[in-house]
Amino acid sequence: MINAWNKIKEIIKKDPRYAPQAYQFVFEALDYTTNIFGKNQHKVQDLDRHVTGKQLLEGIRQYALKQFGFMAITTFEQWGVKQDEDFGNIVFNLVDNGLMGKTESDRRDDFKNTYDFQKVFDQEFKFEGNYDIRLSLNALGIKKR
C-alpha cells in the first residue's frame, strides 16, 4: 500500500486538481461497486472483476450517499471533484499509473454526463431513518407549523 500512496503522490504532482482523499475514495467506491454488482475482485480473469464506468459512477453515487449523506457535494468540492467527469479523470490517472486496470472498451467519456451532482446528491437526497427535523428546527428557534 505504501507503493500505491507513493504513486498517488506522483499523480498529484503531475495533476494537482484532486486531493489524495479523492483517490482513496475511488478505491473504496470500486470495492463497494464490485460488491453491489456481484463481481469478485479476487478472480483471476479481469472480466470477472471488471465494472464499467457507468457502473462505477452508480457505485460512487450510492457509496457517497452512504458515507457522507447530504455532505457529499461539499466533501467532493473539498477534494476538487465538481462533476462526474472528474471521477473519470481520477480513474484514468490511476489506470495510467498502473493502479487500476481497464478493458479496451473503457473510455474517459464513459464518465461524462451520467448524472448531475446537484440533482443526485442534493435535490434527490432523502434522510432515512427516524430522524425528526422538528427537533433541530426547535433547537434553532424555528417553529415549523
- Looking at residue 140, its pLDDT comes to 75
In a domain, 56, yes or no: yes
Helix (H) or strand (E) holding 47: helix 46-49
In a domain, 144, yes or no: no
> Does the pLDDT at position 133 exceed 90?
no
Rounded mean pLDDT of 83-98? 97
In a domain, 23, yes or no: yes
CB within 8 A of 34, min separation 6: which ones?
A: 40, 41, 49, 51, 59
Report the chain's mean pLDDT, rounded to a whole number. 88
2 or 27: which leads in pLDDT: 27
Name the grid cell of 12. 498529484
Q: How confident is the model at residue 126 (pLDDT cuts 50, 70, 90)?
A: confident
Q: Are 54 and 114 in contact (CB under 8 A)?
A: yes
Give me the domain span that covers residue 48: 2-139
Tell me the longest C-alpha to C-alpha distance in the chain: 59
| pLDDT more than 70, % of the chain | 89
* Number of structural domains found in the chain: 1
In a domain, 98, yes or no: yes
